[in-house]
Structure 1
Amino acid sequence: MAPPHGQPRHVVLRRAAERAAVLALWPEAAFLSVPGAGAFLGAPGWRALVGEAAWLRAVLDCGRAPGHALAALRLGARGLVLDPAVPGFAALAGLAGEAGCALLPARPPALDLAGVRLDTPRGRAFLRQALGLPDAPELG
């Protein structure tokens, strides 16, 4: 189930607990890393964080680090963000296209759960409402 039109297609992921909470409500969720995560988390770390089930829907933000974008391509990434001003962007775009990976020049819109406590009913209700999922309670 995809969120209704106008709702975010990605959720910013920081912790495994967020991943579990999001996937419990929206099994088809697509995750977006925090800005520049490719440079400090690396492709293997990002793949471990998102999990195998969501790996092919995940987008790793590599910021200005084309080497990390290339490493992610080698791991089979299907979504990357890379600053288009970095040297080699065009070459990486060609490689990404051949590999079936979307190389984005900017971060896509995403729901950022910073500060949301997903271990509480109110936090989970916020997530349901933010994603436009059915039966989302109204929060006052």
Structure 2
Amino acid sequence: MALAAADMAGYGGCVGLLSPCGAVAYMGTGWWHALMDSVAESASRAFVHVLDCDSSPAGALMALRCGQQAAILRPQNPQYETVRALYAQQNATLLSQRPPSFNLIMPLSAISSLVGYFAHGYCQHQHPENNVPDTRQKKDCST
């Protein structure tokens, strides 16, 4: 849905797909890669995907071993710097926190919400869990 909405909005930038919080622990790396491979088969554009490993260095290392190029690992973990160095050796990216995102798990009124997100930025009347710092001018998407 996110990729289709970006196309409909004429968004030419990179679109990233972000796993649910801590997904590596309860869904696994294999599941994430199967899902992303399936998305790639029908995608009309290139995209990046990020697997959230929460505070699991083992999950982050398994993801890297399976070819994951971008993951999230909380820096409070004692092994964070070691895992980050291993990601750097593989030219992969390890993020210390989740990037701003549009949450597709919560109910959407229509795909137009996503089109508005790509075309105009964050809505003023969005769900509180999506409230992240943003420097773009806020727009009222309720009209």
The alignment status of 1:79 with 2:70, answered yes or no, reads yes
Point out the structure with max Rg over C-alpha. Answer: 2
2:3 to 23, 26, 32: 23
Letter in 2 for 1:34: P
TM-score, normalised to structure 1's length?
0.70
Percent identity of the aligned residues? 31
After superposition, the CA RMSD in angstroms is 2.2
Structure 2 residue aligned with 1:129: 116
Structure 2 stretches lacking a partner, 5+ long: 8-13, 121-140
Write the mapping of 1:1-140 to structure 2, written as runs, cut at 5 A.
21-26=1-6, 28-51=14-37, 53=40, 57-117=48-108, 122-132=109-119, 139-140=142-143
Distance across 2 between alignment mates of 1:128 and 1:25: 5
Aligned residues: 112
User: Unaligned regions of 5+ residues in structure 1, if any?
Assistant: 1-20
Task: Give the structure-2-normalised TM-score.
Answer: 0.69
RCO higher in structure (CA 8 A, sep ≥6): 1
Partner Cα distance (1:116, 1:87) in 2: 37
Task: Give the Cα–Cα distance (whole angstroms) in 1 for the partners of residues 78 and 31 of structure 2.
Answer: 24
